[in-house]
Structure 1
Amino acid sequence: MRSLKTAALLAAAALTLTACGSGDGGGDAASDGKTKLRFSYWGSDSRQKMTEQAIAAFEKKNPTIDVVGEFSDWPSYYESLATKVAANDAPDVMTLEIRGLSEYAGRGALADLTGKVNTADLDQGVLPAGQVDGKQYAIPTGVNVFAMLANKATIEKAGEKMPDDKTWTWDEYIELSSKITKGGDGSVYGTEYTFNPAYLTIFAAQRGESFYNNGKIGITPETLKAWWANFDKLIKEKGSPDAAKMAETAAAGQEQSLIATNKGGFGMWWTNQLGAMAKSSGQELTLLRLPKTPDAQKSGLFLQPAMHWTISSKTEHPAEAQKFVDFLLNDPEAGAILLSDRGLPINSKVLAAIKDKLPPADTQSLEFIESIKSDLDAVVVPPKGGGKMEDIIRRYSEAVTSGQQTPDEAATKLLEEANAAIAG
């Protein structure tokens, strides 16, 4: 991903700049004497509105603190944040993805939150997803699972039935997708594919491989080639659009995806995206487990933080920043506003308080995650360089599906570049 790749490059300059720059430490006092906290995050218009409501609720309870939201869309978020961090102008509270956690923690940009924020009611099994070298540099905002979204109406309109997601295989998924395309009106495809690293992680785990292993990529060339073979089959059997159409669809964003526009039967997305996708489609969407390889011993699915709350190590207002993060995590009022937009809350009391207020899509997400919890792998915090993986995987995968590179050549080069990114 361009923004994360650029972020890594810019963050590399942070130590030099912060060593010689005086900066203001990322916070200051407002003219009315209130403490000003800067808070960076990304997302959609609906997320911005929710977040502004949560900020207003926090300020009402803490009248001496003003929280200034620094909002941007996803493509530009990390580039902007890395520039601020490198210039010693980091926001007091920053939203990060798990892929960028090791990078920012390793650069000394994040405060250790161990014992600084109340985590007593949080899911203790999820907290390690915010730890680097034993320190709690980040706290998950909420959790989600990478799953298959299915449009039952589209599938049945093509004369097909919903699959049994406890037993279906990748070949059955490809075959069903092809049948949906052929049974449609010519404007619908059985599925849309994705190069999301989560998909590759799950596929590899089903083959007994870990994405990361002892500081290197643990995925073999054979698994990469088998993964790409699925895309090749989908394209050749018309289960999905061709490479050019899929690249165009992916670039258009979530709301223009095939399943969100009722042009696809299936699509892989995170569970916290279900609500927005269902709203865009105007139809009911169902969450399913991803297919498995026939001899898989496990699903490969894993519970992952949607994102993390972090605090700048340079903030001049650590107590106020901690209070704000504590509010976002532990206050039922914040939970009732944010719901599952940043993943289902990991605070058991907050989740219990808002459970009856969740819209149908969020209730479905909660029930789905609960139903598969015993089959979930532990999440792994990517090492430094992890933020570059999505861009690397996408580039080589696009080269293979478009015929620009052979799977053998692409697998070799992908692993070389990915391991070099980790090595730094």
Structure 2
Amino acid sequence: MKPTKVWTVALLATAVMTAAAGCGGGGGKSGDDKVHLRFSYWGSDSRQKLTEQVIKKFEEKNPTIDVEGDFSNWESYYEKLATKVAANDSPDVISIEIRGLSEYAGRNALADLSGKLPTADLDQQVLTSGQIDGKQYAIPTGVNTFSMLVNATALEKAKQKLPDDKSWTWDDWMNTAKQVTAAGGGMVGAEYNYNPAWLQIFAAQRGEKFYDGNKIGITADTLKAWWAIHQQLIQTKGSADAAKSAELISLGPEQSLLATNAGAMGMWWSNQLNALSKASGQEMTLLRMPKAAGATTTGMFLQPSMFYTASAKSDHAAEAAKFIDFMVNDPDAAAILLSDRGLPTNAKVLAAVKGKLPPVDQKTLTFIGDVKSELSPITAPPKGALQMEDILKRNSEEVVFGKTSPDAGAQKFLTEANAALAG
């Protein structure tokens, strides 16, 4: 269900829900008079286990506060959250990605956290990405960047060299993928996806913005050139066919070609290196994204993995801020979470846990350090951005499956995307 429809349905249901139970924020008091907080988040089973551990550590340090983890899988997270917020039953602390920040802040669902917790040791450039109209609605959990992950051993078996990621182009990537598949052994050269981050990077290489104020800044020509990469990968067998690729996109990283040792290259967020490496049992290499011919920038950007926010209607604002403070500023929390929510943005915390990071996370840290000067700052996109992945995926599949022409698909995407941003 689209976010706008979720809000409408949730609002209609509010009267029924509030008639059956008293209205109020998510917090309360438990039977032993402790302050009770709810913390909503999404993720995998491994994230849920880590989060339960970090909650336990917080409660040990704050014996007057109980925290209940309100966990959902990614597919249902925002639908459930919108219903709770509309019904005045919001969790006290809410995990939100950057695409949802303007949406929830604009609906007065989030508290301004300015001055509510220490932020001096956080990366200030990253911190500003949690601001809307000068108010600090969100605190970044950690940072990552959308990048190319490569199984170097698979390339070597196919007699292909690890690319020079400072100079390689999309044509180089597609040619390498084609050669890996052609080498046989059941290995597919690359897998593509419809992540808006990839399109944002590709557009930036062509001098365009994904969002230009409250409108889409990408041209139809850029969309068509981006889809042409998908189509060429399929035609040259550098990737799986359209049907198989669509299936893989729906399954997520741990069942991707990279994770199952059936593919050599794929695009993922840098903090997913750990999960992909564990799933595959292989050593993965992080590379810069390929560039369009003649591009002067990689288009890559440093982005918070997600944010911690607090409900504007929480009965326990101080305790909610204290929990967020612990999650981003306490080395004990970082020692448990490590890179699960991105590498810590608190320089002192990162220094404290750096030696505890497993080798794969050390690799991520080194990569981000190497490319950080090349990464563009990121700002929260406008309302409606939560719908963008669905709109992009649906229109991309129509083009890639041959159900519509690239020209018609580009116009349809721009019309739908701009309508979503217009509300």
Match of 1:129 in 2: 129
- Does residue 422 in structure 1 map to residue 418 in structure 2? no
Q: Summarize the alignment of residues 153-168 of structure 1 with structure 2, pairs less than 5 Å apart.
A: 153-168=153-168
Match of 1:67 in 2: 67
Match of 1:224 in 2: 223
SS of 1:287's partner is strand
Alpha-carbon deviation of 1:226?
Answer: 0.3
Match of 1:358 in 2: 357
C-alpha distance in 1 between matches for 2:9 and 2:238:
45
Alpha-carbon deviation of 1:13?
Answer: 6.3
- In the alignment of these two chains, the number of paired residues is 419
What RMSD over aligned residues (CA atoms) do the two structures have, in Å?
1.4
C-alpha offsets along residues 208-241 of structure 1, whole Å, 9 cap, x if unaligned? 0000113210000000000000011100001001
C-alpha distance in 2 between matches for 1:149 and 1:215:
32
C-alpha offsets along residues 62-87 of structure 1, whole Å, 9 cap, x if unaligned? 00100000111111111111111111
Q: Summarize the alignment of residues 298-317 of structure 1 with structure 2, pairs less than 5 Å apart.
A: 298-317=297-316
Match of 2:196 in 1: 197
C-alpha distance in 1 between matches for 2:226 and 2:402:
15
Question: Where in structure 2 are there 5+ consecutive unaligned residues?
Answer: none
Alpha-carbon deviation of 1:18?
Answer: 7.2
Check conservation: 2:395, 2:409, Cα contact below 8 A: yes
In structure 2, what residue type is equivalent to 1:370?
Answer: G
C-alpha offsets along residues 154-181 of structure 1, whole Å, 9 cap, x if unaligned? 1111121111111100011101100000
In structure 1, what residue type is equivalent to 2:5?
Answer: L
TM-score after normalising by structure 2: 0.97
Match of 2:4 in 1: 8
Match of 1:57 in 2: 57
Check conservation: 1:27, 1:37, Cα contact below 8 A: yes
Q: Summarize the alignment of residues 23-422 of structure 1 with structure 2, pairs less than 5 Å apart.
A: 23-185=23-185, 187-422=186-421
In structure 2, what residue type is equivalent to 1:335?
Answer: A
Residues 17 and 245 (structure 1), Cα distance of their counterparts in 2 relative to 1, 3 Å cut: closer
Alpha-carbon deviation of 1:16?
Answer: 7.8
Check conservation: 1:103, 1:384, Cα contact below 8 A: yes
In structure 1, what residue type is equivalent to 2:247?
Answer: E
Alpha-carbon deviation of 1:19?
Answer: 9.6
Alpha-carbon deviation of 1:25?
Answer: 1.3
C-alpha distance in 2 between matches for 1:10 and 1:395:
19
In structure 2, what residue type is equivalent to 1:251?
Answer: S
Question: Where in structure 1 are there 5+ consecutive unaligned residues?
Answer: none
Check conservation: 2:39, 2:69, Cα contact below 8 A: yes
C-alpha distance in 1 between matches for 2:340 and 2:366:
16
Alpha-carbon deviation of 1:10?
Answer: 2.5
C-alpha distance in 1 between matches for 2:320 and 2:379:
27
Alpha-carbon deviation of 1:252?
Answer: 2.0
TM-score after normalising by structure 1: 0.97
Check conservation: 2:152, 2:264, Cα contact below 8 A: yes
Residues 182 and 46 (structure 1), Cα distance of their counterparts in 2 relative to 1, 3 Å cut: same
Percent of aligned positions with the same letter in both sequences? 61
Check conservation: 1:23, 1:88, Cα contact below 8 A: yes
Check conservation: 1:254, 1:260, Cα contact below 8 A: yes
Check conservation: 2:205, 2:298, Cα contact below 8 A: yes
In structure 1, what residue type is equivalent to 2:105?
Answer: A
